[in-house]
A = this chain, B = another copy of it.
Amino acid sequence: MNNEKTIPYKIYLNENEMPKQYYNLRADMKEKPAPLLNPSTLKPMTFEELRGVFCDELVKQELDDTTPYFDIPQEIQDFYKMYRPSPLVRAYCLEEKLQTPAKIYYKFEGNNTSGSHKLNSAIAQAYYAKKQGLKGVTTETGAGQWGTALSMACSYLGLDCDVYMVKVSYEQKPFRREVMRTYGANVTPSPSSTTEVGRRILAEHPGTTGSLGCAISEAVEAAVTREGYRYVLGSVLSQVVLHQSIIGLETKTAMDKFNIVPDIIIGCAGGGSNLGGLIAPFMGEKLRGERDYRFIAVEPASCPSLTRGKYAYDFCDTGKVCPLAKMYTLGSGFIPSANHAGGLRYHGMSSVLSELYDQGMMEARSYEQTEVFKAATQFARVEGILPAPESSHAIKAAVDEAMRCKETGEEKTILFGLTGTGYFDLKAYAQFNEGTMTDYVPGDEELAASFSTLPAVDERK
């Protein structure tokens, strides 16, 4: 179909073309995302309140919705050069396989040991913790990508790293745990009996396989109850979307270099960090009225926060120790089924993306797991990369859009984020290969029950 191949298979920026600033999407939003609220007072969280949990510099980034650009410190830029720039790949082989007139590109973030984009924010957060003179950081991890990324960043900078890993992933992915240990981290399956909130959750839900929400509660407790520690989070927060803007900025620079303009931009959405980062500079153009794009957030049908959730203030964690965030949520009491796309098993969604979705700036859709793995396997066989289950949600949507182009004959340019590799997801692939993979879609009653856990918040400001 596209036989000329005037565009390289992989576009790598030169190191001197890499972004030197993060882009803060919120600065271009007229209607800003709603502020984090203190669950006791229901007033916006202040710098002083947040700095007990997060590093000072990160709190500043979190609260700043007007500064458009933040300099990337030289040390972080240097670390990025270990594994970035990441390639923008033209999916010639996939296009050929689909026989579509669409042009498909993907930004591949999996070429590092953490196996995903998570390292982009991990090094930033670890850097600011180190700069503040802290001893260490605590965090949660779902699929293990974030925990691995943070372990790598902490080991590089010489910081302690305590990771609470969602129990289902801890058990399904012992090798992830081992990578973290190789990088010197302490890894605890969550919920655990090492924290008060963990013991409470275990008592209430014996036999639970855990969730990101639970693990967050435990990690926060482990940070605030010890001297010299702070909590860091791999997604959801606005600061994380800020750091991840490097994905979109690199992508935009690469596309501009070759005069490529995407029509549709697709990303998988768990907490929203990858999607928010990928779309950031493009969404900025749309917000400023400079150019229009279609944005599609893709989530698992088993954890459909955008497509079936409510836009409301909710706790970020199951244990209700975190501030309230206004977001599309299934309720902090929602504990997703043991779906393998671990990184997308979060009840809520970045407040930046939630607000953009609510404003109609972005679409959302959900897919069931087996159709996602079918697309993943098809992709692996022609593009060579074995994708992470999370990323494969975006692949599925991209393939669907490309097939639509085949029907209509439209030569659209599709860009999607390939956030990571599936090397640590082989149990899930084995289930798919053996035909024993099952789908799960929560029933309306189940959702109604978890919506009932939403706190009552009067939003008059």
Contacts and interface: CB of A to CB of B under 8 A. Distances in A.
Interface of A: 8-10, 12, 14-15, 78, 81-83, 92-93, 111-113, 115, 152, 155-156, 174-175, 178-179, 181-184, 377, 380-386, 421, 423-424, 426-427, 429-430, 433
8 contacts: A8-B81, A82-B93, A82-B383, A83-B384, A156-B382, A178-B430, A183-B381, A184-B381
B430 A152 contact: no
Q: Is the interface of A mostly helix, strand, loop or mixed?
A: helix
Contact of A113 (B8, B156, B183, B384): B384
Contacts of A14: 8
Given A8-B14, A175-B426, A178-B430, 12 more contacts: A8-B81, A82-B384, A113-B421, A152-B381, A155-B381, A174-B426, A179-B423, A179-B426, A181-B430, A182-B380, A423-B423, A423-B424
Nearest to A377: B182
Given A111-B111, A384-B112, A178 B82 contact: no
Contacts of A174: 426, 430
Contact of A156 (B10, B184, B381): B381
Nearest to A423: B423
Nearest to A110: B111
**Number of copies of this chain in the oligomer?**
2
Contacts of A113: 380, 384-386, 421, 423
A220 B433 CA distance: 27
A115 B422 CA distance: 12
Contacts of A433: 178, 181-182
A156 to B, nearest CB: 7
Given A178-B429, A433-B182, A10 B81 contact: yes
A115 B184 CA distance: 23
A189 to B, nearest CB: 16
B8 A386 contact: no
Contacts of A175: 175, 423, 426-427
Nearest to A182: B429
Nearest to A12: B12
B9 A81 contact: yes
Nearest to A382: B156
Ordered nearest first, which 7 A-B pairs have the shortest CB separation? A175-B426, A9-B81, A178-B426, A113-B386, A423-B423, A155-B381, A82-B384
Contacts of A383: 82
A237 to B, nearest CB: 24
Contacts of A9: 15, 81-82
A9 B8 CA distance: 21
Nearest to A113: B386
Contacts of A82: 9, 93, 383-384
